[in-house]
Amino acid sequence: MTRVWLDALAREAIATEAAGRRLRETGGPLRALPPGPRAQHRRTRLIPDPRDVRAQIDAVFEETAGAYSYLGDWHSHPRGSVRPSEVDVGTAAKIAANQAVELPRPLVLIQPTRPFRIHVGISALGAYRWCPHQRRLADCELILHAVDRDIEN
Protein backbone atom coordinates (compact mmCIF):
# COMPACT_ATOMS: atom_id res chain seq x y z
CA MET A 1 0.00 0.00 0.00
CA THR A 2 1.28 3.45 -0.89
CA ARG A 3 2.01 5.80 2.01
CA VAL A 4 1.18 9.49 1.74
CA TRP A 5 2.94 11.82 4.17
CA LEU A 6 0.96 15.00 4.78
CA ASP A 7 2.24 18.01 6.68
CA ALA A 8 0.04 18.65 9.75
CA LEU A 9 -0.32 22.32 8.74
CA ALA A 10 -1.52 21.27 5.27
CA ARG A 11 -4.03 18.95 6.96
CA GLU A 12 -5.29 21.85 9.05
CA ALA A 13 -5.58 24.08 5.95
CA ILE A 14 -7.64 21.41 4.17
CA ALA A 15 -9.99 21.09 7.16
CA THR A 16 -10.37 24.87 7.43
CA GLU A 17 -11.10 25.37 3.72
CA ALA A 18 -13.60 22.46 3.69
CA ALA A 19 -15.40 23.75 6.81
CA GLY A 20 -15.71 27.19 5.25
CA ARG A 21 -17.77 25.86 2.31
CA ARG A 22 -20.46 24.08 4.39
CA LEU A 23 -22.63 22.75 1.53
CA ARG A 24 -20.34 23.17 -1.49
CA GLU A 25 -17.28 21.29 -2.67
CA THR A 26 -13.89 22.92 -2.49
CA GLY A 27 -10.35 21.72 -3.03
CA GLY A 28 -7.14 22.39 -4.87
CA PRO A 29 -3.71 21.11 -5.79
CA LEU A 30 -1.90 19.15 -3.09
CA ARG A 31 -0.39 22.12 -1.43
CA ALA A 32 -3.69 22.73 0.36
CA LEU A 33 -4.36 25.93 -1.53
CA PRO A 34 -7.88 26.96 -2.47
CA PRO A 35 -8.99 26.34 -6.07
CA GLY A 36 -8.73 29.96 -7.20
CA PRO A 37 -10.97 33.01 -7.04
CA ARG A 38 -13.04 32.05 -10.09
CA ALA A 39 -13.62 28.43 -9.03
CA GLN A 40 -17.19 27.17 -9.13
CA HIS A 41 -18.21 25.49 -5.87
CA ARG A 42 -21.27 23.30 -6.39
CA ARG A 43 -23.01 20.91 -4.05
CA THR A 44 -21.57 17.79 -5.68
CA ARG A 45 -18.81 19.16 -7.89
CA LEU A 46 -15.89 21.54 -7.86
CA ILE A 47 -14.68 23.26 -11.01
CA PRO A 48 -11.33 24.88 -10.15
CA ASP A 49 -10.04 28.05 -11.75
CA PRO A 50 -7.54 26.45 -14.17
CA ARG A 51 -5.34 29.53 -14.63
CA ASP A 52 -4.98 30.14 -10.91
CA VAL A 53 -4.31 26.47 -10.14
CA ARG A 54 -1.68 26.32 -12.91
CA ALA A 55 -0.04 29.47 -11.52
CA GLN A 56 0.05 27.91 -8.02
CA ILE A 57 1.65 24.71 -9.32
CA ASP A 58 4.21 26.66 -11.38
CA ALA A 59 5.05 28.89 -8.40
CA VAL A 60 5.76 25.89 -6.13
CA PHE A 61 7.93 24.31 -8.82
CA GLU A 62 9.91 27.53 -9.31
CA GLU A 63 10.20 28.36 -5.57
CA THR A 64 11.66 24.91 -4.88
CA ALA A 65 13.89 24.81 -7.98
CA GLY A 66 11.94 21.79 -9.22
CA ALA A 67 12.13 19.82 -5.96
CA TYR A 68 8.34 19.91 -5.61
CA SER A 69 5.90 19.37 -8.43
CA TYR A 70 2.24 18.55 -8.96
CA LEU A 71 1.22 15.30 -7.22
CA GLY A 72 -2.56 15.49 -7.44
CA ASP A 73 -5.51 17.22 -5.82
CA TRP A 74 -7.67 17.28 -2.73
CA HIS A 75 -11.36 18.10 -2.54
CA SER A 76 -14.25 17.93 -0.12
CA HIS A 77 -17.39 15.81 -0.16
CA PRO A 78 -20.00 17.86 1.76
CA ARG A 79 -22.46 15.46 3.36
CA GLY A 80 -20.61 12.79 1.46
CA SER A 81 -18.48 9.73 1.70
CA VAL A 82 -14.73 9.48 1.99
CA ARG A 83 -14.86 7.07 -0.97
CA PRO A 84 -14.08 8.39 -4.48
CA SER A 85 -17.08 9.06 -6.71
CA GLU A 86 -17.31 8.08 -10.37
CA VAL A 87 -16.41 11.69 -11.21
CA ASP A 88 -13.29 11.40 -9.01
CA VAL A 89 -12.23 8.22 -10.80
CA GLY A 90 -12.82 9.80 -14.22
CA THR A 91 -10.85 12.93 -13.27
CA ALA A 92 -7.90 10.87 -12.02
CA ALA A 93 -7.94 8.86 -15.26
CA LYS A 94 -7.88 12.08 -17.33
CA ILE A 95 -4.98 13.51 -15.34
CA ALA A 96 -3.04 10.25 -15.70
CA ALA A 97 -3.66 10.13 -19.46
CA ASN A 98 -2.66 13.76 -20.05
CA GLN A 99 0.87 13.64 -21.49
CA ALA A 100 1.47 17.32 -20.68
CA VAL A 101 0.89 16.70 -16.96
CA GLU A 102 3.42 13.84 -16.78
CA LEU A 103 1.71 12.25 -13.78
CA PRO A 104 0.64 8.66 -14.49
CA ARG A 105 -0.40 7.96 -10.86
CA PRO A 106 -2.00 11.10 -9.39
CA LEU A 107 -2.95 11.31 -5.73
CA VAL A 108 -6.47 12.22 -4.65
CA LEU A 109 -7.32 13.28 -1.10
CA ILE A 110 -10.99 13.44 -0.11
CA GLN A 111 -12.26 15.41 2.87
CA PRO A 112 -15.81 14.40 3.86
CA THR A 113 -17.74 16.93 5.94
CA ARG A 114 -20.98 16.96 7.92
CA PRO A 115 -22.66 20.35 8.19
CA PHE A 116 -24.49 20.85 11.47
CA ARG A 117 -26.53 23.84 12.60
CA ILE A 118 -23.63 25.87 14.03
CA HIS A 119 -20.50 24.08 12.83
CA VAL A 120 -19.13 21.69 10.23
CA GLY A 121 -17.91 18.27 11.31
CA ILE A 122 -14.62 17.22 9.74
CA SER A 123 -14.20 13.48 9.23
CA ALA A 124 -11.05 11.49 8.52
CA LEU A 125 -9.28 12.42 5.29
CA GLY A 126 -9.16 9.70 2.62
CA ALA A 127 -6.10 9.18 0.41
CA TYR A 128 -6.08 7.40 -2.96
CA ARG A 129 -3.67 6.86 -5.84
CA TRP A 130 -4.55 6.12 -9.46
CA CYS A 131 -3.72 2.55 -10.54
CA PRO A 132 -3.52 2.65 -14.35
CA HIS A 133 -3.55 -1.14 -14.86
CA GLN A 134 -6.65 -1.59 -12.71
CA ARG A 135 -8.21 1.72 -13.83
CA ARG A 136 -9.24 2.64 -10.29
CA LEU A 137 -8.28 4.75 -7.30
CA ALA A 138 -6.61 2.54 -4.69
CA ASP A 139 -6.48 3.26 -0.95
CA CYS A 140 -3.33 4.83 0.46
CA GLU A 141 -2.10 5.01 4.03
CA LEU A 142 -2.21 8.66 5.18
CA ILE A 143 0.42 9.71 7.73
CA LEU A 144 0.37 13.17 9.29
CA HIS A 145 3.82 14.64 9.71
CA ALA A 146 4.80 17.70 11.71
CA VAL A 147 7.50 19.62 9.86
CA ASP A 148 9.98 21.73 11.81
CA ARG A 149 9.86 24.92 9.80
CA ASP A 150 12.80 26.51 11.66
CA ILE A 151 15.32 24.10 10.11
CA GLU A 152 17.04 25.32 6.97
CA ASN A 153 17.72 22.68 4.29
pLDDT tens for each residue of 12-70: 999 999 999 889 999 988 875 666 677 777 777 777 777 877 777 778 778 878 777 78
Does residue 153 form part of some domain?
no
In this prediction, residues 121-126 reach a mean pLDDT of 94
Does residue 135 form part of some domain?
yes
Q: How many residues are given for the chain?
A: 153
- Per-residue pLDDT at 38: 79
* Degrees, nearest 5: CA angle 20-25-28: 85
Does residue 57 form part of some domain?
yes
Does residue 88 form part of some domain?
yes
In this prediction, residues 116-140 reach a mean pLDDT of 94
Instruction: Say how many C-beta atoms besides its own lie within 10 A of residue 145's C-beta.
Output: 12
Distance CA 118, CA 107 (A): 32
Does residue 8 form part of some domain?
yes
Q: Is the pTM of this model over 0.75?
A: yes
- 32 or 152, higher pLDDT: 32
Does residue 150 form part of some domain?
no
Does residue 20 form part of some domain?
yes
Range of the domain at 77: 3-145
Q: How many separate domains does the chain show? A: 1
Distance CA 109, CA 104 (A): 16
* CA 117 to the chain's CA centroid: 26
DSSP 74-143: EEEEET--SSPPHHHHHHHHHHHH-TTT--SS-EEEEEEEEE-SS-EEE-PPEEEEEETTTTEEEE-EEE
3 — phi, psi (to 5°)? -100, 135
- Per-residue pLDDT at 151: 46
CATH code, 82: 3.40.140.10
Does residue 39 form part of some domain?
yes
